[in-house]
C-alpha cells in the first residue's frame, strides 16, 4: 500500500508530507484548494507526462516521492521480474523536475518512465475521468470481458493468437496475388543474371583488402624502390659512406689493439655483433628490393580486379561479405520462383487449413466470451442495483468482424437501459457522466477481489451524483476499502463520512503566494468538515448534528461489513 507521499515545489504545493493509512482515506477541501494536484503529482511520480508549468516559478526543482509497502508474494515476484527488489517490502519511487530535465528513480536507482509505469501498475491503480471514458470504447469493453473470464478465455485466446500468427505468415508469403508466367520468367531471368554475375567474380572474403594493399604498393613502387636502394647503400659495403664499410673498418682497428690491450676485446665483441646484425639487415633489404620489380601486367590485372569488385559493391553491398549474402538471398528467391507453382499450391492449401482452424478457434473463443458475458452482465446488474440503478437492465451485444485478428473476430457493445420500459441501447448513447462513473465503480468492485493491486485511487467518482445515490456509492467504496487501501478525493459528505482516515486540504493565501496544505483530521475536525460539505460556508448546530449522525451511521456500516 501507499504509506507516504512527499511533494515539494509543485503548483500550489511548497512542501507536504502525508502518511496514508489502511482502509478508506478520504481527501476533501474547498474548490481550488489543490486537491487535483495531489493526484496529478502521484501520476507524475508513476511515470506520467511531465508538464513543465507544474513546477513552481520560485523553485529550482520539483519533487514527488512515494513510499510503498508490499507483502504479497505474487506482487513481489512480479517486481523482481522488473528488476526491483523490495527490501523489507519497501519500494521508493521518485520523480524530480529541474529545468527541462525529468529524472525517475526506483529505490534510488535511475529508471526510465516506462519502467516506473510498469512498476506503478503493480502497486497502485488510479481510477479517474480517463477510466470512465475508456469504458465507452468497444475495445476496452472486450478487454473487460476477457479479464473477467480470464481462466476460461485466456487459454483459447492464446490458441487463436498462435494460429493467427501462422495465418498472417502464410498470407505474407502469398503476397499481393498470383504472378503471371511472363512476369515470373522476367524475374527469373534477372535474378539468374545477378547470381551469375556474382558467381563469375569468384569472390573471396578479405580479398579486396589484400588487393588494395598490393595496388597502393605498386602505385608507389618507384618511391619505394628509390628509398629502399638508398637505405641499402647507407647500410652496406659498396661505398666508403656505407655503414657496413665503416663498421668493418672499426672492427679491424679494434682487432689490432687487442694484442696490446686485452680489455679492448669486449668492445671488439660488441661491435662485431653489430656488424653481423647490420650484415643480416642489409641482405634482407637486398632481398626486399629484388621483390619490388614492377610488372605492368600484374598492375593491370590488380586494377581490373579491384574495378570489378567495386562495381559489385556498388550494386550489391559495401563489403564482399555483403555481396555474398546478397547472392545467397537471390539464390533463395530464384529457387522460390523456380518452384513457384508448387509452393503457391502448397501455401494456398495451408491457408485453407489454417483458415478453417482459425475460424473454429475464433468461434470457440466467441462462445467462451458469450458465456462469460452472461455472468458478467448479471454481476453488473447486481452492482448497478447496489449503486441505486434500481430498475436498470444491462447486457453485452456481440458483433463479428469480417477479418481475423490475434484476439479473435469479436467486437462488443455494452448495452444498458437505466429506466423501466426502455429498450437496451449502446452505453455511449444513454448514460450521463454521473451514471458512467457509477457503472465504472461497480465494474471496479467486481474486479477488486481478484486484483492484486493494493492501492486504488478514485478521483471524480462522485461526478454528477447526490443524495441516496451518493450514499450507495459511499457504501460501495467502503466495501472495496475493506480488503485494500483506497484513496478518494470527494466533495460529497456521504462519501467523506465513510472515511477510515480523513484528510483536509486547505489553501493559505499570503501576499507572496497561495500554498496548499494537507493534514489528517481528528474526529471533531472531520465532523466540522462534513458540516461544511453539508451546509456550505455557514456551519450551524443542525449541520454539526447531521454530520455527527452521518459519521455514526457510516461507522456502523463499516463495522457491519468487516465483522
Residue with cell 457493445: 413
Q: Read off the pLDDT band of 167 (50, 70, 90).
A: very high
Distance (Å, whole) CA 292 – CA 295: 9
Distance (Å, whole) CA 383 – CA 333: 60
Q: What residues make up the domain containing 61?
A: 2-128+438-445+456-562
DSSP 10: E
Q: Read off the pLDDT band of 357 (50, 70, 90).
A: very high
- Pair (26, 108) in one structural domain: yes
Determine the average pLDDT of the residues in 434-442: 79
Residue 276 falls inside a structural domain:
yes
Task: Please tell me the predicted confidence (pLDDT) of residue 308.
Answer: 92
**pLDDT exceeds 90 at position 222:** no
**pLDDT exceeds 70 at position 294:** no
Given 335, 364, 385, the domain boundary residue is 335
Task: Please tell me the predicted confidence (pLDDT) of residue 511.
Answer: 58
Given 278, 304, 335, the domain boundary residue is 335
In tens, the pLDDT along 489-535 reads 888 999 999 999 999 988 887 656 678 888 999 999 999 999 998 88
Task: Please tell me the predicted confidence (pLDDT) of residue 472.
Answer: 87
Range of weakest confidence among 133-142, 481-490, 545-554:
133-142
- The set of cell numbers assigned to 315 is 550494386
- Pair (292, 201) in one structural domain: yes
Q: Read off the pLDDT band of 470 (50, 70, 90).
A: confident
Residue 382 falls inside a structural domain:
no
Q: Which residue has the higher pLDDT, 339 or 283?
A: 283
Which percentage of the chain shows pLDDT scores above 90? 41
- Pair (224, 326) in one structural domain: yes
CB of 333 within 8 A of CB of 191?
A: yes
Q: Which residue has the higher pLDDT, 25 or 443?
A: 25
- Pair (209, 307) in one structural domain: yes
Determine the average pLDDT of the residues in 348-358: 94
Q: Which residue has the higher pLDDT, 381 or 238?
A: 381
Q: Which residues lie closer than 8 Å to 8 by C-beta, 6 or more apart?
A: 14, 15, 59, 62, 63, 64
Residue 118 falls inside a structural domain:
yes
**pLDDT exceeds 90 at position 476:** no
Residue 210 falls inside a structural domain:
yes
Task: Please tell me the predicted confidence (pLDDT) of residue 45.
Answer: 92
Distance (Å, whole) CA 68 – CA 75: 12
Task: Please tell me the predicted confidence (pLDDT) of residue 26.
Answer: 94
CB of 146 within 8 A of CB of 302?
A: no
Distance (Å, whole) CA 225 – CA 286: 11
Given 335, 353, 380, the domain boundary residue is 335
- Pair (321, 206) in one structural domain: yes
Question: Which of 483, 515, 413, 495 minimizes the C-alpha distance to 139?
Answer: 413
pTM above 0.85, yes or no: no
- The set of cell numbers assigned to 157 is 485466446
Residue 369 falls inside a structural domain:
no
Task: Please tell me the predicted confidence (pLDDT) of residue 309.
Answer: 92
**Domain CATH code at residue 534:** 3.40.50.300
**pLDDT exceeds 80 at position 162:** yes
- Pair (218, 320) in one structural domain: yes
- Pair (203, 330) in one structural domain: yes
- What does DSSP say about strands 2-10 and 62-69: parallel, antiparallel, or unpaired? antiparallel
**In whole numbers, what is the pLDDT of the chain averaged over residues?**
86
- Pair (201, 122) in one structural domain: no
In tens, the pLDDT along 100-113 reads 888 999 999 999 99
- Pair (204, 95) in one structural domain: no
Residue 371 falls inside a structural domain:
no
- Pair (113, 203) in one structural domain: no
- Pair (123, 201) in one structural domain: no
Residue 402 falls inside a structural domain:
no
In tens, the pLDDT along 370-383 reads 999 999 999 999 88
Residue 350 falls inside a structural domain:
no
Which percentage of the chain shows pLDDT scores above 70? 94
Distance (Å, whole) CA 234 – CA 244: 8
Q: Which residue has the higher pLDDT, 56 or 509?
A: 56
Structural domains counted in the chain: 2
Amino acid at each position: 500500500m501507499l504509506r507516504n507521499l512527499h511533494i515539494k515545489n509543485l503548483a500550489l504545493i511548497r512542501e507536504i508530507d502525508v502518511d496514508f493509512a489502511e482502509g478508506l482515506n478520504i481527501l476533501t477541501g474547498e474548490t481550488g484548494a489543490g486537491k487535483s494536484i495531489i493526484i496529478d503529482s502521484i501520476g507524475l511520480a508513476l511515470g506520467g507526462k511531465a508538464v513543465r508549468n507544474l513546477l513552481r516559478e520560485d523553485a529550482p526543482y520539483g519533487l514527488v516521492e512515494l513510499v510503498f509497502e508490499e507483502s504479497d508474494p505474487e506482487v513481489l515476484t512480479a517486481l523482481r521480474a522488473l528488476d526491483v527488489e523490495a527490501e523489507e517490502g519497501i519500494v521508493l519511487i521518485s520523480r524530480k523536475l529541474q529545468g527541462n530535465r525529468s529524472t525517475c528513480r526506483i529505490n534510488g536507482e535511475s529508471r526510465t518512465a516506462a519502467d516506473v509505469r510498469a512498476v506503478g501498475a503493480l502497486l497502485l491503480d488510479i481510477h479517474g475521468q480517463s477510466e470512465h471514458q475508456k469504458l465507452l470504447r468497444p475495445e476496452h469493453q472486450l478487454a473487460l470481458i476477457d479479464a473477467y473470464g480470464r481462466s476460461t478465455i485466456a487459454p483459447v485466446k492464446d490458441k487463436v493468437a498462435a494460429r493467427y500468427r501462422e495465418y498472417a505468415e502464410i498470407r505474407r508469403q502469398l503476397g499481393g496475388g498470383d504472378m503471371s508466367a511472363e512476369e515470373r520468367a522476367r524475374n527469373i531471368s534477372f535474378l539468374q543474371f545477378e547470381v551469375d554475375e556474382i558467381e563469375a567474380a569468384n569472390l573471396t572474403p578479405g580479398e579486396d583488402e589484400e588487393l588494395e594493399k598490393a595496388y597502393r604498393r605498386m602505385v608507389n613502387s618507384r618511391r619505394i624502390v628509390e628509398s629502399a636502394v638508398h637505405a641499402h647503400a647507407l647500410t652496406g659495403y659498396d661505398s666508403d659512406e656505407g655503414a657496413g664499410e665503416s663498421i668493418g673498418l672499426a672492427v679491424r682497428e679494434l682487432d689490432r689493439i687487442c694484442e696490446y690491450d686485452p680489455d679492448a676485446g669486449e668492445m671488439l665483441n660488441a661491435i662485431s655483433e653489430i656488424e653481423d646484425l647490420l650484415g643480416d639487415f642489409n641482405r634482407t633489404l637486398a632481398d626486399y628490393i629484388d621483390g619490388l620489380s614492377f610488372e605492368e601486367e600484374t598492375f593491370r590485372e590488380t586494377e581490373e580486379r579491384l574495378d570489378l569488385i567495386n562495381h559489385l559493391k556498388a550494386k550489391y553491398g559495401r563489403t564482399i561479405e555483403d555481396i555474398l549474402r546478397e547472392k545467397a538471398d537471390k539464390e533463395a528467391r530464384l529457387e522460390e520462383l523456380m518452384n513457384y507453382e508448387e509452393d503457391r499450391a502448397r501455401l494456398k492449401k495451408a491457408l485453407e487449413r489454417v483458415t478453417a482452424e482459425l475460424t473454429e478457434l475464433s468461434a470457440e473463443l466467441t462462445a467462451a466470451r458469450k458465456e462469460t458475458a452472461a455472468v458478467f452482465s448479471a454481476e453488473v446488474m447486481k452492482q448497478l442495483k447496489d449503486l441505486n440503478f434500481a430498475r436498470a437492465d444491462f447486457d453485452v451485444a456481440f458483433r463479428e468482424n469480417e477479418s481475423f485478428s490475434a484476439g479473435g473476430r469479436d467486437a462488443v457493445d455494452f448495452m444498458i437501459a437505466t429506466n423501466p420500459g426502455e429498450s437496451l441501447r449502446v452505453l455511449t448513447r444513454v448514460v450521463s457522466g454521473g451514471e458512467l462513473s457509477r457503472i465504472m465503480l461497480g465494474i471496479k468492485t467486481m474486479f477488486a477481489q481478484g486484483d492484486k493491486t493494493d492501492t486504488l485511487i478514485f478521483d471524480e467518482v462522485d461526478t454528477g451524483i447526490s443524495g441516496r445515490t451518493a450514499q450507495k456509492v459511499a457504501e460501495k467504496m467502503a466495501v472495496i476499502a475493506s480488503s485494500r487501501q483506497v484513496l478518494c478525493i470527494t466533495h460529497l459528505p456521504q462519501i467523506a463520512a465513510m472515511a477510515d482516515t480523513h484528510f483536509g486540504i486547505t489553501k493559505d493565501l499570503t501576499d507572496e503566494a497561495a500554498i496548499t496544505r494537507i493534514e489528517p483530521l481528528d474526529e471533531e475536525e472531520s465532523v466540522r468538515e462534513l458540516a461544511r460539505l453539508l451546509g456550505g460556508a455557514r456551519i450551524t448546530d443542525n449541520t454539526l448534528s447531521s454530520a455527527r449522525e452521518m459519521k455514526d451511521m457510516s461507522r456502523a456500516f463499516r463495522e457491519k461489513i468487516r465483522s
